[in-house]
Amino acid sequence: MKSQESVLTIGRLAEDVGVNVETIRFYQRKGLLREPPRPPGGIRHYTAEDGARLKFIKSAQRLGFSLEEIHHLLLLDEGMRCSKAAQIAEDHLSEVRARLQDLQRIENILANLLEQCSRGNKDVACPLIAALQAD
């Protein structure tokens, strides 16, 4: 039998990891987190391993991985080769770099428009609004 310290209720697991109980249930429906069996007349019990897996999911999400990508990464525990995980991370890094380039372009455009606004243009009431209306 498991010791009381290693057994957690869903509420305690959620509290320990800093997520909502519904988040845990959502991850279970998506197949990212196991749903422990419910003993007759009892409540489901989670382990420290479930907490570690949940923390992994949240960490991967903070890095921008999709739930599908996270699912593939979690397969590492089930024997997937590290090279596959590296490929998933490499693909994600390419996407992040593309988004950064897009954000850099947006930053440059906005900075230019704000500079035009500060100089004032008598032909246009507001260069920023005029530029947005042109698209």
Cα separation of 73 and 60, whole Å?
9
pLDDT level of residue 57 (50, 70, 90 thresholds): very high
Domain-embedded: residue 134? no
How confident is the model over 68-118, as pLDDT tens digits?
989 988 887 666 677 888 888 899 999 999 999 999 998 998 888 888 777
> Which has the minimum average pLDDT: 30-44, 77-91, 119-133?
119-133
Cα 47 from Cα 63, distance rounded (Å): 25
- Please list, in sequence order, all residues whose beta carbon lies within 8 angstroms of the beta carbon of residue 47, skipping any fewer than 6 positions away: 2, 6, 7, 8
Which class for 33: exposed (0-12), middle (13-18), buried (19 or more C-beta within 10 A)?
buried
The number of folded domains in the chain is 1
CATH of the domain at 43: 1.10.1660.10
Query: Comparing 4 with 20, which gets the higher pLDDT?
Result: 20
Residue 103 lies in a domain: no
Q: What does the alpha-carbon distance between residue 61 and residue 14 come to, in Å, rounded to a whole number?
A: 16
**Interval 39-56: pLDDT, tens:** 888 888 999 999 999 999
Instruction: Specify whether the CB–CB gap between 46 and 9 falls below 8 A.
Output: yes
Residue 2 has pLDDT above 50, yes or no: no
Give me the pLDDT at residue 3, please. Answer: 45
Q: Are 45 and 5 in contact (CB under 8 A)?
A: no
Residue matched to tokens 């949240």: 58
What is the residue range of 37's domain?
Answer: 1-65
